[in-house]
Amino acid sequence: MVTIDTILNALTTLLVTLDPPGLAPLFLGLTVGMDAAQRRHVAMLGTVTAFGILAGFALVGAQLLGFLGISMGAFRIAGGILLFWIAFEMIFERRNDRKEKTSEVAVTVDHIRNIAIFPLALPLIAGPGAISATVLLAGSFSAPLDRAILIGVLALAMLAVFGAMMIAPALDRFLGVTGRALLTRLLGVILAALSVQFAVDGIRSAFNL
């Protein structure tokens, strides 16, 4: 049965993985030269697209794993390792550098109307870490009603992402370079602890401990 603690843990995992404050400066870089209405349109389309991708994995991710012969325990272990690597990158300031390179390449190649889909929705918002976290969380929300709750949690997390992009100019000025670095490292430590817990749960499940 899903509890309040389970819901809060899911929301925390998604928010830390999605990293709305970290997306804000990248969003500004992607939308240079756009007015407020254009930025709002790009943010809305990117958020809705990413929500659709993650909701799809929340609904059918476990079935896809079953079809491929992968147990949820094994995926939790693998997902925990992947999330731990993302946490490592956050703590040592490697993740934002990689994301900035991705955004710079995409802006020069794709037309401005496609920016909301690539690279904003995929892979900056709905990246491998967010997809892995969503499928992992779906294992704890197995019943139909529980799965609907998970979709609601995803929607809340996406609202936070959209809100961060809407206040990106003010947020970037408020945090500054030092504030962003401190926040990213703090979120990285939290994600590292959550990833270890995923791996431990996976080991227990895989070996029936």
Listing DSSP states for 44-67 in one string gives HHHHHHHHHHHHHHHHHHHHHHHH
Its pTM stands at 0.76
Closest CA to 23 of 124, 106, 121: 124
The confidence band for 172, taking pLDDT boundaries of 50, 70 and 90, is: confident
Q: What digits encode the pLDDT tens for the residues 123-171? A: 789 987 888 899 989 988 988 899 999 999 999 999 999 999 999 888 8
Contacts with 131 (C-beta within 8 Å, 6 or more apart), sequence order: 53, 54, 57, 61
Sequence spans of domains, the chain: 4-206
Q: Point out the least confidently predicted range of 29-38, 95-104, 193-202.
A: 95-104
- Higher local confidence (pLDDT), 173 or 18: 18
Q: What is the pLDDT of residue 68?
A: 87
Q: Tokens 């990285």, residue?
A: 188
Q: What is the pLDDT of residue 109?
A: 41
Q: What is the pLDDT of residue 107?
A: 47
User: What's the one-letter identity of residue 202?
Assistant: G
CB 87 within 8 A of CB 129: no
Q: What is the pLDDT of residue 100?
A: 60
pLDDT of 12 strictly over 80:
yes
Q: Directed axis angle between helix 128-138 and helix 4-18, to 10°? A: 170
- Higher local confidence (pLDDT), 130 or 184: 130
CB 180 within 8 A of CB 22: yes
Q: What is the pLDDT of residue 80?
A: 84
Spatial distance between the Cα atoms of 170 and 21, rounded to a whole number of angstroms:
11
pLDDT of 111 strictly over 70:
no
Distance in angstroms between the alpha carbons of the first and the last residue of the chain: 20
User: How does DSSP classify residue 208?
Assistant: T
The confidence band for 183, taking pLDDT boundaries of 50, 70 and 90, is: confident
H/E segment holding residue 85: helix 72-91
Query: What mean pLDDT value characterizes the chain?
Result: 84
Spatial distance between the Cα atoms of 68 and 51, rounded to a whole number of angstroms:
24
CB 193 within 8 A of CB 18: no
Q: What digits encode the pLDDT tens for the residues 58-108? A: 999 878 888 888 887 888 888 888 878 878 887 887 655 656 656 555 544
